[in-house]
Amino acid sequence: MHPPPTQPCSSEPTLAASAWVLRFAPLIRTGAEVLDLACGGGRHTRALAAAGHRVLGVDRDALALQSLRGLPGVRTLQADLENAPWPLHQRFGAVVVTNYLWRALLPQIVRSVDEGGVLIYETFALGQQTVGRPARAEFLLRPGELLEAVRGELRVVAFEDGFQALPRPVFLQRICAVRECAPGSVSTDPPKYNL
């Protein structure tokens, strides 16, 4: 079960894209397919599609996905990620996850990042229960949990775990990590690492 919303519903198009996602979006290869997991109303789906990426927005809320249908470069998939088998059988040039945590999916999320691809993940961390919702431990990352999730699989580009006062008080954990190309593999469009 998802935690109750802590801000306006993510299906509202006025909700701005995460600064963390926008900061690391330039690492996504040109033309790469992006998975926006638990996308809600698609604030990141829209931003990434506007940047020229093909985006698959996945969420269990069919109503939230409706606003994304018909947008250029966007596909949607309604799926209950917590109560059904993993619905995707491919890897992506980028996987974006924000404000969502279902620990059982962390290994699959990491495996879904293709060679040369990037994982951009941001969600609530322990301490959040002192300033607002979600407050239940199952929806809050433990210290360093995202680092552990990518260890041995992806190279960490950036990681933060702490408190952010504005635009509202929140405890967050964030990671940007890349799957480096295997030695000897040839990429026709190498990832951009210009931060």
Q: What is the pLDDT of residue 75?
A: 96
Residue 8 confidence (pLDDT): 34
- Stretch 63-83: mean pLDDT: 95
Q: 1-36, pLDDT tens digit by residue?
A: 333 333 333 334 457 899 999 999 999 999 899 999
Q: Which two structure tokens, joined as six digits, stand for 36?
A: 């926006």
The pLDDT assigned to 182 comes to: 75
**122/96 Cα distance (integer angstroms):** 8
Domains of the chain (ranges plus CATH)? Answer: 19-178 (3.40.50.150)
pLDDT greater than 90 at residue 116: yes
Question: Using CA atoms, how far apart are residues 85 and 69, in angstroms rounded to an integer?
Answer: 24
pLDDT above 70 covers a percentage of the chain that reads: 86
pTM for the whole structure: 0.86
pLDDT of residue 109: 97
Question: What was the pLDDT predicted at 185?
Answer: 60
pLDDT at 98 over 60: yes
Q: How many CB atoms lie within 10 A of CB 189?
A: 11
Pairwise CA distance, residues 116 & 75, whole Å: 22
Q: Is the pLDDT of residue 146 over 90?
A: yes
